[in-house]
Structure 1
C-alpha cells in the first residue's frame, strides 16, 4: 500500500506540472476566459479529488501522521485555490485589487507544487525503507 501512495503522489506532482502549463496556455489564449481556462479548472478539480484519495490511502497505509497531515494540508491548499478564484472574481475583473488577490492563486500553486514534491520524495523514501529512521534507534 505504501508503494500505491508513492505512485499516487507522483501522479499529483505530474498533474500539478500540467496544471501550470494549462494556466499559462489559458492566459495567452485569445478565446473567452471561461473557454480558455476550462481545462485548467477541470484538472484542478481532478487534482483535488486525487489529493483526497492520496490522503485516505496514506492513512490506510499507516504512514506517519505528519505525512497524512501534510496531505490534508495539500487538500486545504487546493480548496484555497478555488476560494482565491471566487474572491478575485467577486471583486471584479480587471481591477487592481482583483489582480492582487488573483496573484495569490499562483503563489499558492507554487506552495502546492513544493508540498506535493516533498510528499512524493518522502513517500518514495518510506516505500523503499518502511522502517522510519527514528524508530530504528529504539
Structure 2
C-alpha cells in the first residue's frame, strides 16, 4: 500500500507540473480566456479529486500523521486555488481585469508554487517509506 501511495504522489506531482504548463499556454493563447484556460481549469478539478484520494490512500496505508496531514494540506491548498480563481473572476469586468483582480490572480500562482513544494515533499517522504521494509510481528521466544 505504501508503494501505491508513492505512485499516487508521483502522479499528483506530475499533474501539478502539467497544470503549470497549461496555465502558461493559456496565458499566451490568443483565444478568449474562457476557451484558452479550459484545459487548465479541467485539470484543476482532476487535481482536486487526486488530492482527496491522496489523503484517503495515506490514511488507508497507515502513513505517519505528518504525511497524512501534508496530504490534507495539499487538498486544502487546492480548495484555496479554486477560491482564489473565483474571487479574481469576480473582479473581472468583461474585457478589462482590474488591478485587484490581477493581484488576486498573482496569489493563485504563489499558492500553486506552495502546492508544488508540499507535493514534492510528500513524494520524497513517500518514496523513502516505500523503499523501507515493512516491519512484521516480533519473533516470539520459546
What interval of TM-score do these two structures reach, taking the shorter chain for normalisation?
A: over 0.9
Instruction: Measure the CA separation in 2 of the matches of 1:97 and 1:47.
Output: 26
Structure 2, unmatched stretches of 5+, are 136-142
Question: Could you state the TM-score of these two structures normalised by the residue count of structure 2?
Answer: 0.90
Instruction: Measure the CA separation in 1 of the matches of 2:77 and 2:86.
Output: 14
Instruction: Give RMSD over aligned pairs.
Output: 1.3
Specify the SS of the correspondent of 1:31. Answer: coil
Structure 1 residue runs of 4+, over 3 Å off? none
The alignment status of 1:123 with 2:126, answered yes or no, reads: yes
Alpha-carbon displacement from aligned partner over 1:32-91 (angstroms, at most 9, x marks no partner): 111100000000100110111111001000000110011001000000000000111112
Structure 2 residue aligned with 1:57: 57
| Number of residue-to-residue matches in the alignment | 132
Instruction: Measure the CA separation in 2 of the matches of 1:51 and 1:128.
Output: 22
The structure number with the bigger radius of gyration is: 2
Question: Could you state the TM-score of these two structures normalised by the residue count of structure 1?
Answer: 0.92
The alignment status of 1:7 with 2:10, answered yes or no, reads: no
Structure 2 residue aligned with 1:45: 45
The alignment status of 1:86 with 2:86, answered yes or no, reads: yes
Structure 1 residue aligned with 2:110: 107
Higher helix share: 1
Specify the SS of the correspondent of 2:126. Answer: helix
Alpha-carbon displacement from aligned partner over 1:90-126 (angstroms, at most 9, x marks no partner): 1224111110011000000000000000100000001
Structure 1 residue aligned with 2:138: none
Specify the SS of the correspondent of 2:101. Answer: helix
